Structure 1
Amino acid sequence: MQTEATLQAIRYQRGVLSILDQLKLPDETVYISINTADDAWKAIHTMSIRGAPIIAVCGVLSVAVELHNSKSKFDSISSVTQFVTDQLNYLVTARPTAVNMTDAAKTIINFLTPLHIKQKNLTIYIDELLDFMEQFLQRDLIGNRLIGQYGAATICRNNSNKKKLNILTHCNTGSLATVGFGTALGVVRQLAANNALQIVYFTETRPYNQGSRLTAYELVHDRIPHTMICDSMAGLLMRTQPIHAVVVGADRITANGDTANKIGTYQLAVLAKHHQIPFYVAAPTTSIDLTKRSGDEIIIEHRPSSEMTTIKGINLAPEGVQVWNPAFDITPASLITGIITEHGVFQPDELEEKLLGLQQSLTSPL
């Protein structure tokens, strides 16, 4: 298995950013240059790049590239601060459900004021800001590997028969949705690396087919044993095959543990509950939004009807058909066994307390 040669959704060096155009997969492997925040906004909005963690990294690095390549137009630290703040706030609007871009924007904006107080030299100020923004790249990869380790250890520990595991996942949560390794698919990768995985089942994930286009592409590339199913087959699969856990990603998790994820996640959680199968959510803590008390407060993005009525320009439904196409649904915390993060696995009802305690310990002086 080729865990170290996983696909790259994003390529970056200072001043140069490109992303793998996921709209063209699996037929073509094409990288798009991202030179401005506007380029990134369009790529995120059209889903040329998708997945909550990678959206944030792409957004942040697009601002870094634009800032680096237009240094000469800034005549003051204040003008840099205003530019970065405006561009980050603009990027937040590209896709409203995923919280990671919002969290990244807040983190960087909060970094600007103390940096301004400390550093009065414009050139050094820009360089230190670029250094800080570039940290998001490596931080995501490190976090993903920890999610994989914690998730694999927890699922194996709770596997009473000690046989190799059959896992079911949904959408795409791997190297194409993150800087590398993945969240839910990172757990699968780690299980495979530990020789603890029998097979991973994954849904095609209609209507955008992130499973059949992207997850399939990754699993074939990494030679991980797998089987794809239609979204409507999950119930029968759980009833007739031993499924040891369902593991999905998240675009936003609220304080009470309610989780927004790709449409179809909620029904998998209901089915898992009925069949007494553990249901895990794997996500970095940047996907946790403590400003929202429950899933009722999450804005659900609705996508164009054409995503349901056509595939690659071929009509699947008659012209004029009425369509309802929410991109995400909310899985109540009561259906979730555990939330796998880079800091460990938490019960939904302890998530807020543990996360606040963690934040306090990280900010407290030694």
Structure 2
Amino acid sequence: MTTRENDGVRAVIWAGDCLRLLDQRRLPSDTVWIEASTVDEVASAIRDMVVRGAPAIGIAAAYGVAMAARACGSDPDALDAALARLAAARPTAVNLRWAIERQRGRIAEGAGDLAAVLLAEAVAIHEEDVTANRRMGVLGGALIESGDVLTHCNTGSLATGGYGTALGVIRSAYADGRIGRVYADETRPWLQGARLTAWELVQDGIPVTLLCEGAAATLLARGEVSWVVAGADRIAANGDVANKIGTYSLAVLARYHGVRFMVVAPTSTIDMNTPDGAAIPIEERPADELLSLAGQPVAAAGAGAWNPVFDVTPAGLIDAIVTEAGIVEQPGLAGMHELMGWRA
């Protein structure tokens, strides 16, 4: 059995004058680090999925703002243009916009050495994420009494500053002896479950079994899985959750089979200005991601493809949303407002 310290993976590292990013497109076969020293290189890394996962995207963006300030000096128009390019890298994960807006708040304070102030803020955002993940791990892990769990995509150290959101809950619950085995969806078409989640769990010695998404119903029907544990890229004010495509279908299957469904995400992923899931922009990526695999065609020539990257799980299918600020069970507008300190 592992301990709570089974957290040796880091995918985003500040190296003094540049950001070192573990290229998640190359795992698990190759461990390749990419250095980004400009805001445009950070934006490209986010857009091209070198760095992925909502919290990790936000952290990388925070460092990108500091780089932009270093390059733009005292030119506010150039800085605004750089931040706009960074914000446009990906539309669905709210952490990207959240991190940029938090940095804009520091810019508005008019500090003397702006680049140094923004770098310090980026480091703080990074450290706060790891602390929040460990807190969520404890809170969410306590909800799991026993049994195996099923997870989707990658929500671990690779997708965050460290430890993970949903995978942090799994790490915590496994360390406490509450989980025997983790089932992980392959998560097509980028195979984040197969390439990344399985890799992380193997590193930590946590038993992991892969399955294709089409096998999830049969797995849940066996009655061995007690929870489905997923992350989030944006949570609306009413508790609807946008996450990696395939999450919605898992929630439907879990409800039908009497399996509980947990979403784990920091409060920075909650967008109280988005009223419900219908208002969340859903990114669509190129058809080639479905039509080929590792550069090799896998579909009939001439076929088209629809490639939405995320779907929306209605709050009514979620048993618990776990954040570092607390848990909302059977989430809805009132519970989300209470969690975030808003008036309903």
Fold-level similarity (TM above 0.5):
yes
Q: Which residue of 1 aligns with 2:37?
A: 35
Query: Which residue, 199, 222, 246 being the options, matches 2:204?
Result: 222
Q: Distance in 2 between matches of 1:104 and 1:31?
A: 23
Q: Distance in 2 between matches of 1:129 and 1:303?
A: 31
Name the CA shift for 1:140/1:102 in 2 (closer, same or farther; >3 Å).
Answer: same
Whether the aligned pair in 2 keeps the contact of 1:9 and 1:179 (CA below 8 Å) is yes
Whether the aligned pair in 1 keeps the contact of 2:133 and 2:168 (CA below 8 Å) is yes
Matched, 1:131 2:120: yes
Matched, 1:279 2:261: yes
Q: Which residue of 2 aligns with 1:101?
A: 96
Q: What is the TM-score of this pair, normalised by structure 1?
A: 0.88
The structural deviation recorded for 1:5 is: 4.3
Matched, 1:44 2:46: yes
The structural deviation recorded for 1:66 is: 4.6
Q: Unpaired segments of 5 or more residues in structure 1?
A: 157-163, 361-366
Moved more, 268-277 or 312-321: 312-321
Letter in 1 for 2:81: D
The RMSD of aligned alpha carbons is 1.7
Q: Secondary structure at the residue paired with 1:47?
A: coil
Query: Which residue, 296, 300, 307 being the options, matches 1:318?
Result: 300
Q: Distance in 2 between matches of 1:4 and 1:213?
A: 19
Q: Distance in 2 between matches of 1:356 and 1:18?
A: 33
Whether the aligned pair in 1 keeps the contact of 2:46 and 2:52 (CA below 8 Å) is yes
The structural deviation recorded for 1:111 is: 2.6
Q: Distance in 2 between matches of 1:82 and 1:338?
A: 43
Structure number with the higher helix fraction is 1
Whether the aligned pair in 2 keeps the contact of 1:89 and 1:105 (CA below 8 Å) is no
Letter in 1 for 2:44: K
Letter in 2 for 1:259: V
Equivalent positions of 1:81-160 (< 5 A) are: 81-113=76-108, 115-116=109-110, 119=111, 122-123=112-113, 125-156=114-145
Letter in 2 for 1:353: H
Moved more, 315-324 or 255-264: 315-324
Q: Secondary structure at the residue paired with 1:330?
A: strand
The structural deviation recorded for 1:351 is: 3.5
Q: Distance in 2 between matches of 1:184 and 1:232?
A: 21
Q: Distance in 1 between matches of 2:118 and 2:93?
A: 24
Q: Distance in 2 between matches of 1:91 and 1:205?
A: 27
Q: Which has the larger Rg?
A: 1
Q: Secondary structure at the residue paired with 1:181?
A: coil
Whether the aligned pair in 2 keeps the contact of 1:167 and 1:244 (CA below 8 Å) is yes
Whether the aligned pair in 2 keeps the contact of 1:60 and 1:88 (CA below 8 Å) is no
Q: Which residue of 2 aligns with 1:213?
A: 195
Equivalent positions of 1:167-246 (< 5 A) are: 167-246=149-228
Q: Which residue of 1 aligns with 2:24?
A: 22
Q: Secondary structure at the residue paired with 2:182?
A: strand
Query: Which residue, 323, 336, 339 being the options, matches 1:355?
Result: 339
* Percent of aligned pairs with the same amino acid: 42
Q: Which residue of 2 aligns with 1:159?
A: none
Q: Unpaired segments of 5 or more residues in structure 2?
A: none
Q: Distance in 2 between matches of 1:129 and 1:6?
A: 27
The structural deviation recorded for 1:83 is: 4.4
Q: Distance in 2 between matches of 1:126 and 1:49?
A: 23
Name the CA shift for 1:97/1:110 in 2 (closer, same or farther; >3 Å).
Answer: same
Q: Secondary structure at the residue paired with 2:83?
A: helix
Q: Which residue of 2 aligns with 1:363?
A: none
Greater than 3 Å deviation, 4+ residue runs: 2-5, 65-68, 81-86
Matched, 1:330 2:332: no
The structural deviation recorded for 1:9 is: 0.6
Count of residues in correspondence between the two structures: 339
The structural deviation recorded for 1:82 is: 4.5
Equivalent positions of 1:275-314 (< 5 A) are: 275-314=257-296
Q: Secondary structure at the residue paired with 1:130?
A: helix
Whether the aligned pair in 2 keeps the contact of 1:260 and 1:329 (CA below 8 Å) is yes
Letter in 2 for 1:304: P
Q: Secondary structure at the residue paired with 1:244?
A: strand
Letter in 1 for 2:325: H
